[in-house]
């Protein structure tokens, strides 16, 4: 049970018992686009996100155990494109419920405030109130 809002946590709370996820994943009301900053290729769309990591849905499988420079882009309320850039590692992959797609889990390696604050803002703005 959360005492704080899911996006208001301390970095020490990230690791749970037995190394399992301690922060509940937050599903977003939009599938925000995620780009590989190095290749400028659209990798997929965010399915859920925390300050620890995210799950993408994509048309093609994504290489595992690889470091990526990712960029999440979205349209702000002021109609300006906003973005977050960060380093993440692809950790797992499986077929989506819809067999035409792939789900891939990423661990966010960059824990700087410049990354975590906008992620918390995205969760606060676009996360389901579940």
Length of the chain: 130
Does residue 80 belong to any structural domain of this protein?
A: yes
33 and 62 Cβ atoms separated by less than 8 Å: no
Does residue 10 belong to any structural domain of this protein?
A: no
**The dihedral of CA 102, 9, 86, 107: what is its sign?**
negative
Does residue 36 belong to any structural domain of this protein?
A: yes
Does residue 121 belong to any structural domain of this protein?
A: yes
Counted domains in the chain: 1
Q: Which domain holds residue 93?
A: 25-126
88 and 62 Cβ atoms separated by less than 8 Å: no
pLDDT in tens, the chain (130 residues): 223 333 333 334 334 444 444 445 444 445 789 999 999 999 999 988 889 999 999 999 999 999 999 999 877 778 888 889 999 999 999 999 999 999 999 999 999 999 999 988 888 777 755 5
Q: Residue 69 pairs with which residues in a beta bridge? A: 87
The whole-angstrom distance between residue 86's C-alpha and the CA centroid of its chain comes to: 10
- pTM for the model: 0.74
Does residue 6 belong to any structural domain of this protein?
A: no
Does residue 14 belong to any structural domain of this protein?
A: no
Q: Residue 8: how many CB atoms within 10 A of its CB? A: 11
Does residue 16 belong to any structural domain of this protein?
A: no
What is the domain-level CATH number for residue 92?
Answer: 2.40.10.220
């Amino acid at each position: 049970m959360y005492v704080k809002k899911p996006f208001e946590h301390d970095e020490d709370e990230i690791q749970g018992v037995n190394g399992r996820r301690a922060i509940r994943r937050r599903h977003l009301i939009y599938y925000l686009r995620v780009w590989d900053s190095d290749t400028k290729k659209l990798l997929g769309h965010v399915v859920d996100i925390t300050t620890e990591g995210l799950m993408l849905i994509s048309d093609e499988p994504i290489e595992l155990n690889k470091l990526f420079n990712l960029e999440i882009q979205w349209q702000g309320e002021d109609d300006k494109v906003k973005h977050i850039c960060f380093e993440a590692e692809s950790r797992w992959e499986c077929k989506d419920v819809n067999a035409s797609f792939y789900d891939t889990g990423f661990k966010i390696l960059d824990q700087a405030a410049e990354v975590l604050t906008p992620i918390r803002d995205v969760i606060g703005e676009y996360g389901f109130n579940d």
